C-alpha cells in the first residue's frame, strides 16, 4: 500500500539564480529546474531538466551534482568528474534544457540526494531551485527499494475527528536529514507498518518511499511505500563498513 504525505527538507534553501556580467552592466537571469533519478543496473541515472529565463550567452558552462548521503555522517560531494552539459534550447524569451548522467553510488544500502548546480566559466556554482507550483525542491531522491530515506521516532500528534494522527521525528543527530512535515493517520500507519500504530509510539522506524514533484500547498511531498521498526530500536546511523573499490564494483556486476 502506498500513502502520500507532505514533506520538508532541512538542508536546502530556496535561492533564485542571478548573474552579473560585464563592466558597469548587469542582466539578471533565472534558472528553474529539478533532478530526477532512476536506478539501472547498479547505477543512479540522474536527469536535470528545466527552464532558463532571460538567458545570457556564456553565463553558465555546465551543470554539476552534489551528492548527499542520508543516514551517514559524511560530507557532501560535488561530482566534478561527471559534469552534465548545459545546452539550453531557445523557446522564445526563455530556453529549456535537459541532460542526463549515470553515476555509481558508493553504497547500495544508502539513500542519496542529488542536488543540481549550474557552474559558471570561472568555476563558481549557482544553486538551482525548481519553482514548480509550490514545490521548490530541486533535488533527486534515490528510491531503489533497498534503503530508507528517513529514520525517526514515532510520536502521537493530534486527534482529527474520528482519526488519530502520528508524526515521525527524524534522527537528525545521526545524519537523517530528510523529514516529513505531515502526519500519518492511524489506519495509514497501521497498513504501512503491518502492526498497530499505537504500538509504534516512541519506537524508532525506517521509512521507505520516493518524493513527489510540482505539488501545491498541502499536496503530498512523498509517496510512502513502507514503514518498519529498526533492528536495534535505536536512532543510529547506517553502519559504515570499509570496502575496497573492487568490492564496490562487484556489487554492480
The whole-number pLDDT of residue 252 equals 32
Q: Which of 111, 57, 50, 40 is nearest to 84 (CA)?
A: 50
The whole-number pLDDT of residue 239 equals 67
DSSP letter string, 12-60: ----------STT-----EEEEEEEEEEETTEEEEEEEEEEES--TTS-
Phi-psi group of 42: left, alpha or beta (phi > 0 → left; psi -120 to 50 → alpha; rest → beta): left
State mean pLDDT over 126-146: 91
152-167 tens-digit pLDDT: 999 998 776 778 999 9
The whole-number pLDDT of residue 2 equals 53
The whole-number pLDDT of residue 20 equals 34
The whole-number pLDDT of residue 163 equals 81
> What is the domain partition of the chain in residue ranges?
13-141, 146-229
User: Is 80 exceeded by the pLDDT of residue 130?
Assistant: yes
Q: What's the CA gap between 22 and 48, in Å, rounded?
A: 28
The whole-number pLDDT of residue 240 equals 54
Task: Give every CB contact of residue 98 below 8 A, 6+ residues apart in sequence.
Answer: 47, 48, 49, 50
According to DSSP, the residues that pair with 167 across neighbouring strands are 155
Q: What is the pTM of this model?
A: 0.82
The whole-number pLDDT of residue 15 equals 35
Q: Fold for domain 13-141?
A: Immunoglobulin-like (2.60.40)
The whole-number pLDDT of residue 249 equals 37
User: Is 50 exceeded by the pLDDT of residue 22?
Assistant: no
Cell numbers linked to 238 = 547506517
247-251 LR contacts (CB < 8 Å, sep 24+)? 248/104, 248/106, 248/107, 249/104, 251/42, 251/108
User: Is 90 exceeded by the pLDDT of residue 237?
Assistant: no
Contact 91, 131 (CB under 8 A): no
The whole-number pLDDT of residue 14 equals 36
User: Residue 220: how many CB atoms within 10 A of its CB?
Assistant: 17
184-202 tens-digit pLDDT: 999 999 999 999 999 999 9
Q: What is the mean pLDDT of the chain?
A: 84
Contact 142, 111 (CB under 8 A): yes
Contact 83, 131 (CB under 8 A): no
Amino acid at each position: 500500500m502506498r500513502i502520500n504525505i507532505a514533506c520538508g527538507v532541512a538542508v536546502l534553501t530556496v535561492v533564485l539564480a542571478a548573474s552579473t556580467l560585464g563592466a558597469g552592466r548587469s542582466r539578471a537571469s533565472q534558472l528553474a529546474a529539478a533532478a530526477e533519478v532512476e536506478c539501472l543496473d547498479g547505477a543512479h541515472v540522474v536527469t536535470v531538466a528545466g527552464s532558463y529565463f532571460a538567458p545570457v550567452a556564456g553565463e553558465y558552462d555546465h551543470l554539476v551534482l552534489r551528492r548527499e548521503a542520508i543516514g551517514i555522517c559524511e560530507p557532501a560531494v560535488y561530482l566534478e568528474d561527471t559534469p552534465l552539459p548545459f545546452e539550453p534550447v531557445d523557446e522564445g524569451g526563455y530556453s529549456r534544457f535537459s541532460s542526463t548522467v549515470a553515476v555509481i553510488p558508493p553504497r547500495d544500502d544508502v539513500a542519496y540526494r542529488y542536488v543540481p548546480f549550474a557552474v559558471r566559466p570561472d568555476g563558481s556554482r549557482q544553486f538551482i531551485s525548481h519553482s514548480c507550483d509550490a514545490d521548490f525542491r530541486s533535488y533527486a531522491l534515490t528510491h531503489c527499494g533497498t534503503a530508507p530515506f528517513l529514520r525517526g521516532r514515532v510520536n502521537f500528534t493530534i486527534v482529527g475527528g474520528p482519526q488519530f494522527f502520528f508524526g515521525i521525528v527524524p534522527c537528525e543527530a545521526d545524519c537523517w536529514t530528510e523529514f516529513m512535515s505531515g502526519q500519518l493517520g492511524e489506519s495509514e500507519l497501521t497498513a504501512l507498518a503491518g502492526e498497530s500504530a499505537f504500538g509504534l509510539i516512541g519506537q524508532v522506524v525506517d521509512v521507505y518511499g520516493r518524493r513527489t514533484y510540482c505539488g501545491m500547498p498541502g499536496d503530498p511531498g512523498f509517496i510512502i511505500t513502507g514503514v518498519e521498526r529498526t533492528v536495534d530500536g535505536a536512532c543510529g546511523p547506517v553502519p559504515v563498513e570499509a570496502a575496497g573499490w573492487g568490492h564496490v564494483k562487484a556489487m554492480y556486476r
